[in-house]
Structure 1
């Protein structure tokens, strides 16, 4: 093996070997194949082969919906984001049965990710649940459908959001080539082989560096707000006038106190180990658990009723567990119900502004829900488990609170971009375009029932 190839990472060595074999096979096909038919070979196998090489495939019969230049731009957008988002534009035909097209395509591609399909005039998307939660997919598809527009507008709108919300990274098999599949793609792959793998390695390093830089910037922003939360909780513990051996202290009080101390240490330990933005969710989960333990301890000491296990105060989780739900609307937005602490509930009732948590942005201090997607993992630790998907409609954080950093299971299923073959949860891809779906006034995407 040439020295340049030996220096490559093992996945790229494998890719180059496969491309070389494909180039040889192509050479024989080009030299000895009969004249081409009116349309290139199509079907699920062809689509899947294309999507393993590039994030966008357009069937030749559907090329009027997404012309080559627009398909190339969409593919570049996905590749630059480095996320496992797959897009197929297909004609409505017997080759792509509505009831099974998602399951068939996911099985054939074999890579965990987000799959969006424009089938004739219909659009829908499904995803592996760890890559993007069902709520996130359903909400995003519904938004795209209701926004309307032509195929290019709908796909770009979907990809813009999916690239920000999807977990994982682009599959190693993508080479940054043209959308679709065929001789051009294989010849491009052959050129990489001829170049000794140097081009592929440079592309691999560039995409990896971009992903790392983007993640680091998001993590740097998160560190500030999470460190503030940890410090605030530590100060609460310092101010706490409780001693386990004091008169009147019982075992239940001591357990509450120990839980609060343990939560503080857990938050610090997990923050020290954070490597990726989504890791901070576990930190804020620990802080929320610790604040509830303090609230329970305070009730026991005063003889008050024990607090109900509720979400933290929406306006600032540092205020501790909420005590009631209130009607509130962000500036220019529609009213919605949010959990609030006693002090903020009183302010809202009096027509005053609640004491909202603000964070630093390029435009100065802003409430966290207007600060952008970087804060979704932070909010997910406080409000995970199905907090009001419509709560933040119309804000910058918006639907991201129903995205993967907020609602997806943390340790189940493959990471986005991982090869799994046919080993995936079929419930994530069940069905296709059934009756009562999101098209024409259905449920806005209809993931669970397989509706289109």
Structure 2
């Protein structure tokens, strides 16, 4: 049986991305001091999405916990520590065993670590359940309350109410077309077998009301350019994986951090062409972490192979663009290469941030390009 401490349960949520350069020691000192006064800490900088009412709701959830669990919802803690290291440091400074959970104000960065207490399932499985079962746009409070409920041993929500079903539980695997190489590491996004979860019943905070709020499906990219049906799903997966990989690095490159932020901004725009942009930026961010970022084809960033500078005359201008061997051969023959379509025309014929930047092929600073875009 786990040793139970006398202190109240506490849920901790810490964001890894969002700015701030204070040393980790300084930041955790502040959080530890705050948590000694109250089991839930919400930074003043995130109150736009996590209100005082949300904080009160988290306090009520904390009081129901069977073991100590600690809450901070705050911006970026440290560039030099992984998420688990940050939680371990906070635990050492607070001096209490228990469950430590962190999240940003959107709930998109959520991680748990248990010290000296026994969870009904692993903290990793709880994290992944919150990732799969909730929509990216659901409020952070819902994701946090769900994670705490699972940590208490409450059942996982029924499959019919989940935002997505993981491949390990019968959900679809990401679809890759001929024009793109499959990421050999994507399979690690799938949840391991979760036989310990009960499939009956759902938390009151979710259910049909959450399903009604889920965003409607939108028409996709031109099918003859590339099937789009799983583009957003894959973009979310790639961005989540990039965020986790950055969190594990002691000194992630500035380029990877910029691309992660840009991919997040693109996902928030919520259209098929923006989802594709987010996917490309997240993939480039993962490459940048490994020091192996490759140039993409201007006409379709999912085309295989090395892209080389190629002189191309469009209906607007003559410019040098990176083109894969197939597209370069089309240009040499005087033909228009097969491109990504945005609606009923090639994407580069539209006045969008993606047309102006070629999904990053023509401009490196995509975070600023997206911030400056008003379309």
Q: Which band: TM-score by shorter chain?
A: 0.3 to 0.5
Normalised by the length of structure 2, the TM-score is 0.34
From the two aligned structures, give the one with the greater helix fraction. Answer: 1
Identify the structure with bigger relative contact order (alpha carbons < 8 Å, sequence gap 6+): 1
